[in-house]
Amino acid sequence: MKLRCIHPQARACGTHPHYHKSDGVSMYQVMVVEDEHWIRSAIAKMVETDGAYEVVAEAGNGEEALELIYNIWPTIVITDIMMPGQDGLWLAREICERKLPVIAVILTGYNEFEYARQALRYNVSDFLLKPVMEDELSKALENAREKIPQFSHLRQFFLAIQQFFDKITDMDPHTLFNEQAQVVQLIAVANSLQESEKAVLFKTFSGKFNDLIQTINPAFGRLALASTRTDQIGSHFLALTEHWQQYYNTVFNGEMRQIIRKACDYLQTHFAQDISVPDMTQRFHISVSQFSLLFKKYTGQSFVNYLNGVRIRQAKHHLVEGELKVYEIAENVGFHSLPHFNRVFKQLVGVSPNEYRKSMSV
Distance CA(197)–CA(112), nearest Å, equals: 34
Annotate 138-172 with b (16+ C-beta within 10 A) or e (fewer): bebbeebbeebeebeebbbbbbbbbebbbebeebe
Number of C-beta neighbours around residue 94 at 10 A? 19
DSSP 198: H
Secondary structure element (H or E) that encloses residue 257, with its range: helix 254-270
CA distance linking residue 74 with residue 102, whole number of Å: 7
For strands 19-22 and 25-33, give the pairing: antiparallel
CATH architecture of the domain with range 254-361? Orthogonal Bundle (1.10)
Residue 250's pLDDT is: 67
* Cα–Cα distance, 240 to 181 (Å, whole number): 11
pLDDT of residue 153: 85
* Residue 177 CA from chain centroid, whole number: 25
What is the topology classification, in CATH, of domain 4-150? Rossmann fold (3.40.50)
DSSP string, 51-90: TTEEEEEEESSHHHHHHHHHHH--SEEEEES--SSS-HHH
Neighbours of 175 (CB within 10 A): 12
Element (H, E) at 346: helix 338-349
How far is 118 from 94, CA to CA, in rounded Å? Answer: 13
Predicted local confidence at residue 26, as pLDDT: 57
| Per-residue model confidence (pLDDT) at position 324 | 92
pLDDT of residue 294: 82
Mean pLDDT by 10 residues, the chain (362 residues): 42 43 64 91 87 86 89 93 93 93 91 82 92 94 92 90 86 88 94 91 93 83 85 90 81 76 95 87 82 83 91 96 91 88 91 93 72
In the prediction, which pLDDT does 298 show? Answer: 83
Domain spans, the chain: 4-150, 167-251, 254-361
Q: What's the CA gap between 131 and 162, in Å, rounded?
A: 35
Contact 227, 233 (CB under 8 A): yes
pLDDT at position 350: 93
Q: Tell me how long the chain is.
A: 362
SS3 255: helix
Phi-psi region of 97 (alpha: psi -120 to 50; beta: other; left: phi over 0): alpha
Question: Residues 201, 187: contact at Cβ < 8 Å?
Answer: yes
